[in-house]
Amino acid sequence: MGPAPSDSPTRPIPSLSDLWRWDLQRTLTALSPSRRRQLRSFAASAQGLVPQDGGDAAPLLDLASNDYLGLSRHPAVTTAAAAELQRSGLGAGGSRLVSGSRPVHQALETALASWLGRERALLFPSGFQANLAAVGALADRHSLVLADRLIHHSLLCGVRAAGAQLQRFGHNDLHDLERHLAAARAAAPQRRLLVLSESLFSMQGTSPAVPQLVELCQRHGAALLLDEAHALGVLGPGGRGLGHGQAAIALISGTFGKALGSGGAFVAGDADTLEALLQTSGAFRYTTALAPPLAAGALAALAWIQQQDAERQDPGELLRQRARRWREVLAAAGWPRPAGEGPILPLLVGDDERALQLQHQLERDGLLCVAIRPPTVPAGSARLRIVLRRDLPAGTLPRLLSALGQP
């Protein structure tokens, strides 16, 4: 007797050579339309970002990018990048340990380390690579890594690449972290422990209590890696991040593609740890060096931030003041008050479809603000990620409230 009939259409059994394709197709089929991403292209104009989706789309005011200080178009930054382009060419042509190092790389590393109060810094082409390298420098297959539950994906990939054991603690919950640390130290007094956190979480807009986090790690003998990507230029004294002045932090990672308006990334720490990273990290050794024009642009942006600080004009203060006002006004209008204090304002919606509807609604009114959905954020917590910049025009907040409509 044959198998019972099925209501679902039969699908041919794939050949062995097509199994990989079969699995990919199953993954795509299982992905709901509200979770499926689309790659969109935008042309930059003086009026905003113009979607290249076909037709004559109007420019959109950018409330989505991480160019917090508006430095990607600052004349000092673009002029420095253009000059380095003429001097060194577009790409470095090799890794830093072969032929790719340029004077501008060393100048940026030196200036950055001094600004951050660290002994040394090393550059990377991307923040993802920097975090892979940083985790690998502090953990191995014998280590236990304790990571904030909402830590960036690149850091989790670093843990997997290092082969370390992973445990998660509640988001910014130092009591939960202490419980994990105490248990880990009691179970293995000599085991290497590493804690991973961020100073400004990119999708939550929240920050940990960094001094207390540092003290907790010291008390239990755990190294701390702090990702400062979204805080630099915006939070901390003179925009130096929330880890500034905390010498016990083992390594700090950060990027130039956000507040510094360029591209690339770095890891900063003490000289011995950075030398060990240089000697052992594939993420540093086996990649083409950061493009010299990007390094020059980042160096000029850093100089601008330092000049603002020297003139007693905290580069992030105006942005933080604006962020506080926006949070208060959004809450008064009936929306959930966005968490945190910095320029990232997550407007919690919950439902994936509703978040997408709001995104499209804002675009019809000329505002670009992207819906963030799982797996980037936990299920049931889809949101609009509103990002503030120093150069937003007056009247942007009333325009946003009108476009959002009633909560």
State how far the Cα of 406 lies from the Cα of 402, in Å rounded to an integer.
Answer: 9
At the top level of CATH, the class of 40-68+316-404 is: alpha beta
SS3 for 329? helix
Res 10: pLDDT? 57
Give the domain ranges of the chain: 40-68+316-404, 75-310
Q: Is the pTM of this model over 0.85?
A: yes
Question: Cα 187 to chain center, whole Å?
Answer: 34
Q: Residue 25 corresponds to which tokens in the numbers above?
A: 């197709």
SS3 call for 351? coil
Nearest Cα neighbor of 227 from 162, 301, 157 is 157
pLDDT-derived band at 1 (thresholds 50, 70, 90) equals very low
Supply the mean pLDDT for the chain: 93
User: Mean pLDDT over residues 125-150, rounded?
Assistant: 97
The closest of 50, 30, 40 to 370, measured between CA atoms, is 40
CB 267 within 8 A of CB 277: yes
- Element spanning 275, H or E: helix 271-280
Question: Long-range contacts: 185-190, Cβ < 8 Å, 24+?
Answer: 185/220, 185/221, 188/144
Is residue 255 packed enough to be buried (19+ CB in 10 Å), middle (13-18) or exposed (0-12)?
A: buried
- Quick one: angle between helices 127-138 and 271-280, nearest 10? 110
For residues 327-336, give the mean pLDDT. 96
Question: What is 106-124 written as a DSSP string?
Answer: HHHHHHHHHHHT-SEEEEE
- Look at residue 377 and tell me whether its pLDDT is greater than 50: yes
pLDDT greater than 80 at residue 3: no
Distance CA 66, CA 388 (A): 8
Q: Which residues pair with 196 in a beta bridge?
A: 147, 225
Contacts of 279 (CB under 8 A, 6+ apart): none
Could you tell me what percent of the chain has a pLDDT over 90?
A: 83
Model confidence over 73-109: pLDDT tens digits? 999 999 999 999 999 999 999 999 999 999 999 999 9
Lowest mean pLDDT among 36-45, 105-114, 177-186, 352-361: 36-45
Residue 8's pLDDT is 46
Predicted confidence at residue 35, as pLDDT, reads 87
Across the beta sheet with 344-350, the strand order is: 344-350, 382-387, 371-372
Q: Is the peptide bond before 375 cis (omega within 30 degrees of 0)?
A: yes
Q: What is the pLDDT of residues 53-65, one digit of tens each?
A: 877 788 999 999 9
Amino acid at 217: C
Q: Is the pLDDT of residue 11 over 70?
A: no
Report the length, in residues, of the chain: 407
Q: Which CATH architecture has domain 75-310?
A: 3-Layer(aba) Sandwich (3.40)
Backbone angles phi, psi at 91, to 5 degrees: -110, 165
Contact partners, residue 327, CB within 8 Å, separation at least 6: 337, 338, 345
Burial of 134 (0-12, 13-18, 19+ CB in 10 A): buried
Q: Which helix (H) or strand (E) holds 194?
A: strand 193-198
> Which region holds residue 140: left if phi is over 0, alpha if psi is between -120 and 50, else beta?
beta
Two domains, one topology: 40-68+316-404 and 75-310: no
Count, in order, helices (H) and strands (E) of the chain: 13, 14
Q: Within 10 Å of residue 154's Cβ, how many Cβ atoms?
A: 20
The residue type of 183 is A
Give residue-wise pLDDT tens across range 158-217.
999 999 999 999 999 999 999 999 999 999 999 999 999 999 999 999 999 999 999 999
Q: Which two tokens stand for residue 242?
A: 């929330």
The catalytic site residues sit at 66, 152, 198, 202, 227, 230, 258
Q: Nearest Cα to 135, choosing from 216, 253, 265?
A: 253
pLDDT of residue 15: 78
Residue-wise pLDDT for 223-280, tens only, equals 999 999 999 999 999 999 999 999 999 999 999 999 999 999 999 999 999 999 999 9
Distance CA 368, CA 371 (A): 10
